[in-house]
Structure 1
Amino acid sequence: MRIDDGSSAVVTGGASGLGLATARRIAERGGTVVLADISEDQGAKAVAELGEAARFVPADVTDEDQVKAALEIAQELGPLRFVVHCAGRGGDRTRIIAKDRTPGELDKFAEVVRVNLIGTYNVLRLAASVISGNEPVDEGDRGAIVLTASVAAFDGQIGQTSYTASKAGVHGITLVAARDLASWQIRVNTIAPGIMDTPMLGRLREDIRDGLAASVPHPKRLGAPDDYARLAVEMLENPYLNGQTIRLDGAIRMAPR
């Protein structure tokens, strides 16, 4: 499959960070992309940048109707063959029990899992339903889906129980989804980013950012959103890449704290 073959793409979380970088790459390669995001202000700015190749649809990834609306608009622009799911949230650092032995709040844990894991499954199932209606191309592909986990799925730090659980769940889904959807000729892969230079990290002090960059073995810098985008596009187009979670982290392994 080729991004410039007249097909369409949906990128969740596409108005900023990893999602916007991916949408930018898709547009540069001649593709048409729908940005599904909760931020209408950022969505308007992203569409202004990307031009006619992009559409914005406000969408919460845990909302079935809103995700369906984004997929339907993509279908109107061309057969939907590509979905990159970047939307998600971080988790507050919360220990399982506090120093006074108070248990961590269950609602906070559940909310992170709801957005990051249930939201991922919602996008995966709805996108697969649409993509399965395509005619196969090239080596039989009907489409490809890229999910987003995190190195926290493997190297979760103290206080990251909810975030780690949600991202480990995304990693766990990947091979199962690839096997499950193989009969429909839909490939599923996942990227597990390390310390990425996203708007969230942009709020940190410069010395903290420098310290994080120095902890990366090579290259000694924060990951750029375009590093993610380049890998996402390769996952979409490479016909033999399926069922994989690939760490994108400069060989970092996170310390306990």
Structure 2
Amino acid sequence: VCSEDAIKLALNLIKLKIGKLNVVVNSAGIFRAGEIYDSENNQPHPLHSWIAVMNVNLYGTFNVMRLAIDLMKDNQPDDDNQRGVIINLSSVAGYNVPVEALAYGISKAGVAAMTEPVAKSVGHLGIRINAIAPGPIDTPMNSGGQAPQSNNFQRTAIESLQNLKRLGRPEEVTHLV
């Protein structure tokens, strides 16, 4: 999602093979646990970790949207004058940012914050854009697979966001979309 060339290639393949792009689900995301200052190790949060999360979660979402809109605008409108829909995955962490996961929460807050104004700016083209904000989902990202920090730190961040006292299931997000 961070590579303009890769996204353009994928969109061109869709246009060649299918003819048009109707739906985009922007669900790429990475998680890095960490407060702004690590008091235990007496050091600030690594900037490269913050930048990596922002690049994928926020800038990647924007990058896919802008290029998908360019392709969707050429679709023939349907009976409701719609040409396509983009669904961005934000997160409950974007509305209740855990201090243990600042970069992730703030990146997802950014996704939520940019979705509405972008939707307003392209509504006249017949393109709808919405965001959904699921809680923690049972994926490798939430089981420690992506987080180089301690699993205990990550677990604390995830538990602070759970309403159901369990991780959500990927198929629950699929049904929501």
Residues 64-108 of structure 1, C-alpha deviation per residue, up to 9 Å, x if partnerless?
0100111111112132111111111111x2221222653322222
Q: Which has the higher contact order (CA 8 A, sep 6+)?
A: 2
Are positions 1:155 and 2:96 aligned together? yes
Number of the residue aligned with 2:49: 108
Number of the residue aligned with 1:175: 116
Quick one: which of 206, 210, 227 aligns to 2:172? 227
Are positions 1:72 and 2:19 aligned together? no
Are positions 1:216 and 2:174 aligned together? no
1:203 Cα offset (Å): 5.8
- Counterpart CA distance in 1 for 2:103 and 2:128 is 28
The 5 Å alignment of 1:189-208 reads 189-202=130-143
Number of the residue aligned with 2:73: 132
* TM-score normalised by the chain length of structure 2: 0.83
* TM-score normalised by the chain length of structure 1: 0.59
Quick one: which of 119, 123, 137 aligns to 2:64? 123
Please give the secondary structure, in 1, of the residue aligned with 2:132.
Answer: strand
Number of the residue aligned with 1:250: none
- Counterpart CA distance in 2 for 1:224 and 1:68 is 31
1:230 Cα offset (Å): 1.3
- Counterpart CA distance in 1 for 2:63 and 2:76 is 23
Distance 1:222 1:97, change over 3 A: closer
Show structure 2 runs of 5+ residues with no match. 146-150
CA RMSD, Structure 1 to Structure 2 (Å): 2.2
> 125-134 or 74-83: which moved more?
74-83
Share of identical aligned residues, percent? 37
Residues 118-163 of structure 1, C-alpha deviation per residue, up to 9 Å, x if partnerless?
1010000000000001111121001000111111101111221111
1:168 partner amino acid: A
- Counterpart CA distance in 1 for 2:107 and 2:61 is 10
Quick one: which of 32, 38, 42 aligns to 1:98? 38
Residues 190-237 of structure 1, C-alpha deviation per residue, up to 9 Å, x if partnerless?
1111021113345689xx7xx95xx534xx5431111111121xxxxx
Please give the secondary structure, in 2, of the residue aligned with 1:194.
Answer: coil
Number of the residue aligned with 1:39: none
Show structure 1 runs of 5+ residues with no match. 1-60, 233-257
- Counterpart CA distance in 1 for 2:102 and 2:128 is 29
